[in-house]
């Protein structure tokens, strides 16, 4: 039985986890995007309104991540009716928090709710990836954790290639997002075309240490592994204002490590308690405040849930 409307929350995500470029990601409890979908008699997808993007996102459903994902779900069921979308952007654009993935996932889940839940989350993955691909490429390091929740190991674009891992008990995160856009395409353009063999070996060893630490519930070892990236961070560091200063300030406040979230410029501090996470968030904020760079800081935990339906009727 179809619903006439649905509203869905999709969480922010952090891709890479430092050393796991394009293969690791996690979902945050907050913040996230919200998409409201309403059933239309006419076929197709319409984007009625976007709030919170400062007018930067297109309302062309063929070019907007939410619109593309919604259309993909409708095609899966071959329905002759359409949906009208309203996007509430709570994630900054080009911030390293999976903004495009959140909109795509929220739209896919909302349309599925309107259609009466014919598809599982696993079956919605291709539609969400279609949406993400519209602006950021066909990869699941953000879409996977956003859709399924938790910490995910992504070895492909099929649901069977996305594995959820345990969430360390004491893991807390603090983030700061300076008001500087770092589009994914820009962040990828500065990466090295080739990597020396010894660097590749060190990086794969760090990924192995990280996964081992996650399964052993060892936040300190997890943090050490995440911060040992010798390939991606060195290439991207110049895109992240005051990375070194933020790292020092966060550690003085009790953080165990600081890494770039996704493509950046959001920086994420790995902490072993809520007080340390709050203190690290404030310390990172003060670095940018003193430099007169606008920013937003927050603390959060890993969300065990991915996108969720807030209302459907």
- Using CA atoms, how far apart are residues 29 and 34, in angstroms rounded to an integer? 14
Q: Are 10 and 103 in contact (CB under 8 A)?
A: yes
Alpha helices in the chain (DSSP H): 65-77, 99-114, 121-133, 143-148, 184-189, 197-215, 219-226, 232-236, 243-252, 274-290
Q: Is 160 a catalytic residue?
A: no
Q: Which residues, in sequence order, are CB contacts of 178 under 8 Å at separation 6+? A: 241, 242, 265, 288, 293, 294, 295
Tokens of 15: 């891709």
Catalytic residue among 7, 184, 227, 233: 184
- Using CA atoms, how far apart are residues 61 and 268, in angstroms rounded to an integer? 32
Is 171 exposed, middle or buried (CB count within 10 Å of its CB: 0-12, 13-18, 19+)? Answer: buried
Catalytic residue among 132, 177, 233, 266: 132
Query: Residue 91 gets which letter from DSSP?
Result: S
Q: Is 169 a catalytic residue?
A: no
Q: How crowded is residue 241: how many other Cβ atoms within 10 Å of its Cβ? A: 18
DSSP track, 10-25: EEEEEESTTT-TTTEE
Alpha helices in 216-257 (DSSP H): 219-226, 232-236, 243-252
Which residue numbers are catalytic? 132, 184
């Amino acid at each position: 039985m179809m619903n006439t409307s649905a509203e869905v929350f999709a969480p922010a995500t952090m891709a890479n986890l430092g050393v796991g470029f394009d293969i690791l990601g996690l979902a945050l409890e907050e913040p996230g995007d919200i998409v409201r979908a309403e059933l239309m008699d006419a076929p197709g997808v319409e984007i009625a309104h976007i709030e919170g993007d400062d007018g930067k996102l297109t309302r062309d459903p063929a070019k907007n991540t939410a619109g593309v994902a919604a259309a993909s779900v409708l095609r899966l069921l071959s329905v002759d009716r359409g949906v009208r979308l309203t996007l509430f952007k709570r994630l900054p654009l080009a911030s390293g928090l999976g903004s495009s993935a959140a909109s795509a996932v929220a739209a896919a889940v909302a349309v599925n709710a309107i259609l009466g839940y014919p598809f599982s989350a696993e079956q919605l993955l291709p539609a969400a990836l279609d949406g993400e691909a519209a602006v950021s490429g066909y990869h699941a390091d953000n879409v996977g954790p956003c859709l399924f929740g938790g910490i995910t190991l992504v070895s492909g674009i099929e649901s069977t290639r996305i594995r959820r891992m345990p969430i360390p008990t004491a893991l807390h995160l603090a983030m700061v997002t300076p008001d500087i856009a770092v589009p994914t395409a820009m962040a990828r353009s500065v990466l090295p075309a080739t990597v020396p063999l010894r660097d590749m070996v060190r990086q794969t060893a760090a990924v192995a240490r990280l996964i081992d630490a996650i399964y052993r519930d060892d936040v300190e070892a997890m943090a050490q592994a995440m911060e040992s990236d010798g390939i991606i961070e060195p290439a991207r560091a110049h895109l992240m204002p005051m990375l070194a200063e933020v790292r020092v300030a966060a550690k003085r406040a009790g953080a165990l490590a600081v890494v770039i979230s996704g493509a950046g410029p959001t920086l994420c501090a790995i902490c072993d308690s809520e007080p340390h996470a709050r203190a690290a968030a404030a310390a990172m904020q003060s670095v940018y405040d003193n430099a007169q760079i606008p920013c937003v800081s927050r603390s959060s935990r890993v969300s065990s849930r991915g996108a969720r339906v807030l209302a459907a009727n």
